[in-house]
Structure 1
Amino acid sequence: MSGTLPERFDDLPDKRRFWPAPPGSQDEGLGMLRILTPDVVADAARTQIQTGERVCLNWGLEELNPPGFGRKRFEHRIKWVAPDNAFDDEYHFNPQQSSQWDGLRHHNAPGPDGQTKVFYGGTTPEEIQDTSNSRIGIGHWAKKGIAGRGVLIDYLSWAEKKGITVNALEQHTVSLDDALTIARECNINFQKGDIFFLRVGLTKTWEKMNDDEKMTYSLQRTPKHAGLEQSERVLRFMWDNHFAAVASDAISFEVFPPLQPEFDLHHHLLAGWGLPIGEMFDLEELAGICKTLGRWTFFVSSSPLNCANGVSSPPNCMAIF
Structure 2
Amino acid sequence: MTETTQDPGQLPWNPNCTKFPSQKDLPRLPGAPEGAAWVWGEDDQLGRLKLLTPQRVKASAQEILTGEMVRLDLPLNVPEKPAFNRETFQHSYKTIAEDISYDDCYSLNTQSGTQWDGFRHFSHIPTKLFYNKATSKDFFGESPNLRCSIHHWAEHGIAGRGILLDYRHYALTHNKPYDPYTSHAITLDELKACAASQGLDIRPESEGGDIRVGDFLLIRSGFVEKYHQISPEERYTAATRTHDDLAFAGVSREQAVRDWLHDCYFAGVAGDSPTFEVWPVPQMDFLHQSLLALWGCPIGEMWDLEKLAEKCRERGKWTFFMTSAPANMPGGVGSHANATAIL
Superposition deviation, residue 136 in structure 1: 0.9
Say yes or no: does 1:39 pair with 2:55: yes
Task: State how 1:34-73 maps to structure 2 within 5 Å.
Answer: 34-46=50-62, 48-73=63-88
| 1:132 CA drift (Å) | 4.6
The letter of the residue matching 2:59 is D
The count of corresponding residues between Structure 1 and Structure 2 is 312
Say yes or no: does 1:124 pair with 2:127: no
1:20 aligned partner: 39
1:162 to 162, 168, 174: 174
Matches within 5 A, 1:264-275: 264-275=286-297
Select the residue among 192, 210, 235 that pairs with 2:231. 210
TM-score, normalising length: structure 1:
0.92
Q: Does 1:174 align with 2:186?
A: yes
Q: Which amino acid aligns with 1:7?
A: P
* AA in 2 matched with 1:229: S
- Aligned-pair RMSD on alpha carbons? 1.7
Structure 1 residue runs of 4 or more that deviate by more than 4 Å after TM superposition? none
d(CA) in 2 for partners of 1:185, 1:260: 34
User: How many Å separate the matches in 2 of 1:306 and 1:132?
Assistant: 18
Deviation at 1:272, TM superposition (A): 0.7
Quote the offset at 1:21 in angstroms.
4.1
Q: Which amino acid aligns with 1:164?
A: K
Indicate the SS of the match to 2:156: coil
Residues 43-102 of structure 1 deviation map (CA, whole Å, 9 limit, x = unaligned): 1102x0111112010011111121111111110001202233200011111121110000
> Relative to structure 1, is the Cα distance of residues 2 and 83 closer, same or farther in structure 2, using a 3 angstrom cutoff?
farther
Paired with 2:12 and 2:342, the residues of 1 have a C-alpha distance of 30
Where structure 1 has 5 or more consecutive residues not aligned to the other structure, the ranges are none
Question: Helix, strand or coil: the match of 1:250?
Answer: coil
Task: Tell me, in whole angstroms, the C-alpha distance in 1 between the residues paired with 2:317 and 2:278.
Answer: 27
The percent of aligned pairs where both chains have the same amino acid is 37
Alignment partner, residue 309 of structure 1: 331
Aligned partner of 1:89 in structure 2 is: 104
Alpha-carbon deviation of 1:215? Answer: 2.1
Match of 2:45, SS?
helix
Structure 2 distance, partners of 1:307, 1:238, is: 28
Maintained 8 Å contact 1:78/1:87: yes
Does the CA contact (< 8 Å) of 2:13 and 2:41 recur in 1?
A: no
1:22: Cα distance to partner? 4.4
Task: Indicate conservation of the 8 Å contact 1:53/1:320, yes or no.
Answer: yes
State yes or no: 1:3 paired with 2:26: no
**Does the 8 Å contact 1:78/1:88 carry over to 2?**
yes
8 A contact 2:94–2:104 mirrored in 1 = yes
The 2-side partners of 1:165 and 1:183 are apart by: 18
2:264 maps to 241
Q: Distance in 2 between matches of 1:11 and 1:151?
A: 26
Q: Distance in 2 between matches of 1:2 and 1:195?
A: 23
Q: Which among 246, 250, 263 is matched to residue 273 of structure 2?
A: 250
Query: Aligned equivalents of 2:53 and 2:178: distance in 1?
Result: 37
Stretches of structure 2 lacking an aligned partner (at least 5 in a row): 1-10, 29-33, 201-209
- The CA deviation at 1:175 is 1.1
Q: Per-residue displacement from partner, 1:181-210 (whole Å, max 9, x unpaired)? A: 122232221111110000011111111222
Match of 2:250 among 220, 227, 246: 227
Distance in 2 separating the partners of 1:100 and 1:156: 20
Whole-Å Cα distance in 1 between the matches of residues 83 and 171 of structure 2?
26
2:154 maps to: 142
2: distance between equivalents of 1:123 and 1:164? 42
Paired with 1:184 and 1:219, the residues of 2 have a C-alpha distance of 37
CA distance in 1: counterparts of 2:273 and 2:198, whole angstroms: 21
* 8 Å contact kept, 2:14–2:40: no
Q: 1:126 to 1:260 in 2, by over 3 A?
A: closer
Alignment TM-score, normalising by the size of structure 2:
0.87
